[in-house]
Chains A and B, each alone.
Chain A
Amino acid sequence: MNTRALPLYATIAIFLIAYLLCWLQFPNILSTRVIGNLLTDNAYLGIVAVGMTLVILSGGIDLSVGSVIAFSGVFIAVMLRDTGLHPLVVFAILLAITTAFGAAMGFLIDRLAMPAFIVTLAGMFLARGAAYMLSIDSVPIQHPFFKTLQSAYYLMPGKGRLTLIGVLMILTVVAGMIIAHRTRFGLSVYALGGGEQTARLMGVRQGRTTMLVYGFSGLMAGLSGIVFSVYTGSGYSLATVGTELTAIAAVVIGGTLLSGGAGYMFGTLVGVLTMGLIQTYIVFDGSLSSWWTKIVIGILLLVFILLQKGLLKLSRTRLA
């Protein structure tokens, strides 16, 4: 068996055990209502984490996505308020902007051989600043099309709502799985994460791949911004501060190696749902402070980093 799949199995096992423990205490947690809400509440995070997974697999990092989500929300709200454009047109413009923004960062990272950390950190400030330029205040979205989007859901048996944005997240993850595991581009991403020098010798076009990876992450951040604006019904430049870090946490808890080259897209979905489950448990309990979410996530992250170190050691000793 491949040791690299172990973190994925561990993630799934932890999620199932956690769900079981929650269910023992609160049997209601295993209802379609809770599951539906779990998907809806974490839709924006799941989508942005798909982009982040690809970036981390390539050996990089994208710190700009939280700011890009906030920018997207403000951009949509302001455009809908000040112009007569249909939301779908605004969405298209927005996705083009965020994709180009990501690709531009990828271009700089490759051409200037700069650390992704620095380039995307600059991108983070840029995008947040651009959001402030558009509006400092929270801008409500009143367009009727948004009402339609918000109320679009499929009523599952047990009265759970499978919302449009929840479905969109699942579709994004499926698309991410196909891209990462079933295309030459995806394999090139793994190759870059495994070793740039070697990847180049094997024929990977590093510049193109890097641009595509960060462009994809920008696209996902824009899509996540759309979902977030539907979810909250407004655009606010102070929203989603630190979401990039939450997304990174979800990717790592999902079993992807932070140094790149190993991991699974599906694990990221489980990582997002695990974090959502903790939040849900705290809501059910009622007496716990919501900061407990952060503490549990911190512990989980630590466990996973240790697990990965341990596996790395294991595979080394097996080689020796």
Chain B
Amino acid sequence: MLLSIRSLTKTFPGTLALDGVDFDLRAGEVHALLGENGAGKSTLIKCLTGAYRRDGGTVALEGAQIDPRSTVEAQDLGIGTVYQEVNLLPNLTVAQNLMFGREPRRFGLIDARATRSEARAMLRQYGLDLDVDRDLGSYSVAIQQIIAIARAVALSGKVLILDEPTASLDAAEVQMVFDVVRGLRDRGLGIVFVSHFLDQVFDLTDRVTVLRNGRRITTLDTADLDRVQLIEHMLGRALEDAVGDAAADGAGSVRPELLSFQGFGRRGVIEPFDLSVGQGEVVGLAGLLGSGRTETAELMFGVRPAQTGKAHDANGQLDLSNPRAAIAQGFGFAPEDRKTDGIVPDLSIRENIILGLQAQRGWARPIPRAEQNRLADDYIRRLDIRTSGREKPIGELSGGNQQKAVLARWLAMNPRFLILDEPTRGIDVGAHAEILRLIRELTDAGMSVLVISSEIDELVAVADRVIVVRDRRHVAELKGTRLGGDEIMRAIADSGEVA
């Protein structure tokens, strides 16, 4: 056994992140580490790479006990890591990055020629023939990722940890990186592979270990595993319960109209579109990245005011010229990039939740602290936000729980129309299903929701009606029996004839 971990334990204030986890890694295997956000994957990895010190348990590498105190020490022991974000320097050349810290020297000075030729030789092992004198930043992310792998292997050479290395790669690039990983496996390295993409796990790995809530659930051979079984292990419950059959209910039923947009558009952003939203309806917005999905939402919310068209409700025309006006009309908008646009990471969950409501009331009328506490506790309970308390900085929560807190902020303001841009981006399967269920609950209570998503199955599951956006135009509207994954896909790919 190359690496063997026994009863690994790690606690953080208020949470037991790892609870007696066992994990084995053989030489010459790719071993997937799976689990929802907050299951303990990253904690386990950080204990291995020396970023965290463990509180209990043993880690043995080739039979010898190890306890690395820093990433550099772990590297020297033989454990190298490649992260989701390429952790190399884009401002240095490829050769400088590969050889950093161990450049060949002559008379105390770096021998640039020898550095280059060694770097070239290293890359040739991976079938890459690059100009090593070019800046790293001028190569694609896939190439950078392979260079990062090459460096990690050269420095450590026994265990390679890949922490979501494919998150920002397209399919062909993923295969390129996988070929490299397979080559390393055949050379006898032990590889730990963390990913949210189950297809990739089935494609690449030999064994799978599933973590849930800081415990090891199971370790299985990938070949003996089917997808449903794997998801059940990860979630600890059957998937069907989680999503429900929203599309079937919504089909055909006529809802009273809440809002209608006519000829809403802005030059160079999105062509004028008509859209009506019913009371308690979930409208989905499908399309590729950059097709005009987010832009549609931004126009509706006044982030970028519309140049043409009008918006009405039952009482007349609405002013949507800026987000403040839109909020006053009872609109809410949870943007796509939660980290930069949604949360204030250093503020507590309570402060993040009351932020919108307080802004609406004006700073002259502060919400009493007791009221704040009540609101925060209420939403933490209702949305099942997993935290050790309402005063925890929101940046310390997992992605899914952060997203729930952002939702809570809007719910506290009690909007009639809520826009959610990629509400499930970057969160795990379990939280994913919970958020979809939450959307249904809200609309059952009469709220109308617009959901933007690149996951077609998610839209089919949650939306009553799906608008397809392509090339900055609304090209199709699908509902009832026509609302299905294949139809949406065809509309995104094809011309407007579907509509």
Contact = CB atoms under 8 A, between A and B. Distances in A.
Interface of A: 2-4, 178, 182-184, 187, 190-191, 193-195, 197-199, 201-204, 261-262, 315, 318-319
B89 A194 contact: yes
A307 to B, nearest CB: 17
B109 interface: yes
A37 to B, nearest CB: 34
B89 A201 contact: no
Nearest to B108: A183
B91 A261 contact: yes
Contacts of B110: 182-184, 187
Contacts of B91: 4, 190, 193-194, 261-262
Contacts of B133: 2
A158 to B, nearest CB: 36
Interface string B125-141: 00000000111011010
Given A182-B109, A190-B92, A198-B89, 10 more contacts: A2-B134, A187-B103, A191-B92, A194-B90, A201-B87, A202-B89, A203-B75, A315-B138, A318-B138, A319-B140
Contacts of A195: 89
B96 interface: yes
A184 B89 contact: no
B88 A198 contact: yes
A262 B100 CA distance: 16
B103 A198 contact: no
B101 interface: yes
Given A202-B89, A319-B140, A187 B109 contact: no
Interface size class of B (residues with CB under 8 A): 20 to 34
Nearest to A195: B89
A122 B8 CA distance: 48
A127 B314 CA distance: 71
Interface in B85-106: 87-93, 96, 100-101, 103, 105
A191 B100 contact: yes
A202 B137 contact: no
30 contacts: A2-B93, A2-B133, A2-B134, A2-B138, A4-B135, A178-B109, A182-B109, A182-B110, A183-B108, A183-B110, A184-B103, A184-B110, A187-B92, A187-B100, A187-B103, A190-B89, A190-B91, A190-B92, A190-B96, A191-B89, A194-B89, A194-B91, A194-B92, A198-B87, A198-B89, A202-B87, A202-B88, A203-B101, A262-B91, A319-B138
B72 interface: yes
B71 interface: yes
A319 B180 CA distance: 22
A14 B93 CA distance: 26
Contacts of B93: 2
Nearest to B97: A202
A123 to B, nearest CB: 27
Contacts of A202: 87-89, 100-101
B272 to A, nearest CB: 28
Nearest to B72: A203
B109 A261 contact: no
A194 B88 CA distance: 9
Max chain A C-beta neighbours (<10 A), residue from B92, B110, B134: B92
A60 to B, nearest CB: 15
Contacts of A194: 89-92
A106 B110 CA distance: 25
A261 B89 contact: yes
A319 B143 CA distance: 12
B89 A183 contact: no
Nearest to A57: B91
A192 to B, nearest CB: 9
A195 B71 CA distance: 16
A191 B96 CA distance: 10
Nearest to B89: A194
Contacts of A198: 87-89
A137 B31 CA distance: 75
Nearest to B71: A201
Interface string B438-459: 0000000000000000000000
Nearest to A198: B87
A193 B92 CA distance: 10
A2 B135 contact: yes
Interface in B346-388: none
A187 B92 CA distance: 9
Contacts of A191: 89, 92, 100
Contacts of B75: 203
B173 to A, nearest CB: 13
Contacts of A184: 101, 103, 105, 110
A304 B207 CA distance: 55
A261 B89 CA distance: 9
A190 B90 CA distance: 11
Given A194-B91, A194-B92, A3 B138 contact: yes
Nearest to A191: B89
B87 A319 contact: no
A201 B100 CA distance: 11
A59 to B, nearest CB: 10
Contacts of B100: 187, 191, 202-203
Contacts of A197: 87
A191 B92 CA distance: 7
A49 B217 CA distance: 60
A281 B341 CA distance: 52
B141 to A, nearest CB: 8
A193 B89 CA distance: 9
Given A183-B109, A191-B100, A202-B101, A315 B137 contact: yes
A198 B89 CA distance: 7
A319 B96 CA distance: 20
B367 to A, nearest CB: 34
Nearest to A197: B87
A18 to B, nearest CB: 29
Contacts of A3: 135, 138
A315 B140 CA distance: 12
Contacts of A187: 92, 96, 100, 103, 110
A315 B92 CA distance: 14
Contacts of A193: 91
